């Protein structure tokens, strides 16, 4: 646990004066963890427990039956599961990377650069945040059709690249970086790109980690583009594959589907959790350094 010591945000010893904080934090923390426990326990439930009323929180007779069903069912469909998985991974990597780069660059410009329309652009962005995503489905479809992206790999990628939430968060974080730091770098002869790479990026790592988690989630769980923009079975994503399982498993047999749906949602969730655990150390560690005295 070297990284924990590096950041020095944990006191070394437990002290009685800390008790009052635990008194509040621990119950809250338990509450926060519950859904995760629930997801795992739900996926392991046999059929009779899935439909038990009142629903039980913990599984009583854990079974892997749901996962077995899932695997057997996957073999029955034409396209191998690995193909969906591959598509998802490629799309996810590309989108997360470019979303972070674009948002950080735009956030830097909007926060520290002077140019016309700067305020307007940010306000438009904030407004765009508020629009119900479902309402733009058809215009978006028409657009993708018009540009000729329908039924291509890029249909998964392009619509997600400019993420308004990402820009919003990054800009707020960059606002907190003191201007003196950038001026100092300028005097030392740094170019704009160097300032961006060597100063801005390291200082807003918490924000970057946050938006990469958000972007990852948006892409990884996105079954919509596969349903709407892509007809070719070979180009659809894992999220789409998972969402179909629960519906048409056993040809309309929703009772059997429930178990598989529970298992599928666990499988979909685990990468989120892994990325989160991986990223959150970056989120929490860098916040300790503020840069200027």
Partner 1 sequence: MKQLSLKNKKSLVGYSFIFPWIIGFLIFTAFPLVYSLFLSFQQVKLTPNGIVTTYVKFENYIYAFTVDIQYTQVLLRFLRELVISTPIIIVFSLIIALLLNQPIRWRTFFRMVFFLPVIIASGPVIMDLMEQDVTSIPSIEEYAIFDAVLSNTEGLFHTILTYLMENLVIILWYSGVQILMFLAALQKTDRQVYKAAKIDGASNWECFWKVTLPTLFPMIIVNLIYTIVTYSIFALNPVVEHIQSQMFEISTGFGYASALSWIYFLVITLVLVIGVGVLILGNKKYR
Q: Which of 28, 48, 119, 251 binds partner 1 (CB under 8 A)?
A: 28
Residue 116 C-beta: closest distance to partner 1, Å? 7
C-alpha span between 96 and 113 (Å, rounded) = 25
- Residue 132: HSE in the Cβ half-sphere, 13 Å Cα cutoff: 3
Q: Could you tell me if 259 and 50 are in contact, meaning their C-beta atoms sit under 8 angstroms apart?
A: yes
Nearer to partner 1, 221 or 226 (CB): 221
Q: Which of residues 230-289 bind partner 1 (CB under 8 A)?
A: 262, 265, 268-269, 272-273, 275-277, 280-281, 283-284, 287-288
Which of 69-77, 82-90, 126-134, 181-189 is the region at the interface with partner 1 (rule: CB under 8 A)?
126-134
Residue 62 C-beta: closest distance to partner 1, Å? 17
Nearer to partner 1, 137 or 151 (CB): 137
Four-residue CA torsion sign, 175, 179, 184, 185:
positive
Residue 57 C-beta: closest distance to partner 1, Å? 7
Nearer to partner 1, 23 or 188 (CB): 23
C-alpha span between 285 and 229 (Å, rounded) = 40
Concatenating the DSSP letter of every residue in 1-62 gives: -HHHHHHT-S-SS--GGGHHHHHHHHHHHHHHHHHHHHHHHHHT--HHHHT-SSPPSS-SS-
Neighbours of 16 (CB within 10 A): 6
Query: What track of x and - describes contact with partner 1 for positions 204 through 223 (by CB under 8 A)?
Result: --x---x--xx--xx--x--
Residues in binding contact with partner 1, number by CB under 8 A = 98
Reference 87, options 279, 269, 263, 223; nearest CA is 223
Nearer to partner 1, 26 or 93 (CB): 26
Q: Which of residues 62-121 bind partner 1 (CB under 8 A)?
A: 101-103, 105-106, 108-110, 113-116, 118, 121
C-alpha span between 205 and 280 (Å, rounded) = 10
Q: Which of residues 142-161 bind partner 1 (CB under 8 A)?
A: 142-143, 147, 158-159, 161
Which of 64-72, 84-92, 137-145, 248-256 is the region at the interface with partner 1 (rule: CB under 8 A)?
137-145
Q: Which of 2, 31, 76, 187 binds partner 1 (CB under 8 A)?
A: 31
Four-residue CA torsion sign, 82, 87, 91, 94:
positive
Residue 213 C-beta: closest distance to partner 1, Å? 6
Residue 231 C-beta: closest distance to partner 1, Å? 16
Rule CB under 8 A: say whether 9 interacts with partner 1: yes
Please, what is the end-to-end C-alpha distance for the chain in angstroms?
Answer: 29
Torsion, CA 9, CA 11, CA 15, CA 16, rounded to 10: 0
Neighbours of 86 (CB within 10 A): 14
Residue 65 C-beta: closest distance to partner 1, Å? 18
Residue 77 C-beta: closest distance to partner 1, Å? 20
Q: Which of 93, 138, 186, 255 binds partner 1 (CB under 8 A)?
A: 138
C-alpha span between 82 and 126 (Å, rounded) = 38
Residue 47 C-beta: closest distance to partner 1, Å? 15
């Amino acid at each position: 646990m070297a990284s924990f010591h590096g950041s020095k945000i944990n006191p070394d010893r437990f002290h009685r004066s800390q008790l009052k904080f635990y008194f509040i934090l621990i119950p809250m923390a338990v509450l926060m963890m519950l859904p995760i426990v629930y997801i795992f326990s739900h996926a392991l439930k046999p059929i009779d427990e899935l439909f038990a009323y009142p629903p039980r929180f913990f599984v009583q007779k854990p079974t892997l039956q749901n996962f077995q069903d899932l695997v057997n069912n996957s073999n029955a469909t034409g396209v191998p599961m690995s193909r969906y998985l591959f598509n998802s991974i490629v799309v996810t990597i590309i989108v997360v990377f470019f979303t972070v780069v674009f948002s950080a660059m735009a956030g830097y410009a909007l926060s520290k650069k002077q140019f016309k329309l700067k305020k307007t652009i940010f306000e438009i962005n904030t407004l765009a945040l508020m629009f119900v995503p479902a309402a733009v489905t058809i215009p978006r479809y028409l657009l993708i059709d018009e540009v000729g992206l329908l039924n291509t790999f890029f249909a998964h990628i392009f619509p997600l690249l400019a993420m308004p939430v990402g820009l919003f968060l990054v800009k707020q974080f960059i606002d907190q970086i003191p201007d003196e730091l950038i001026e100092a770098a300028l005097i030392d002869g740094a170019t704009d790109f160097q300032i961006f790479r060597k100063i801005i990026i390291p200082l807003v790592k918490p924000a970057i980690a946050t938006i990469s988690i958000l972007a990852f989630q948006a892409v990884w769980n996105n079954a919509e583009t596969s349903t709407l923009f892509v007809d070719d079975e070979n180009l659809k994503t894992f999220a789409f594959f998972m969402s179909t399982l629960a519906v048409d498993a056993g040809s309309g047999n929703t009772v059997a589907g429930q178990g598989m749906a529970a298992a599928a949602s666990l499988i979909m969730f685990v990468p989120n959790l892994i990325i989160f655990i991986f990223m959150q150390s970056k989120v929490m560690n860098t916040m300790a350094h503020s840069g200027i005295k």
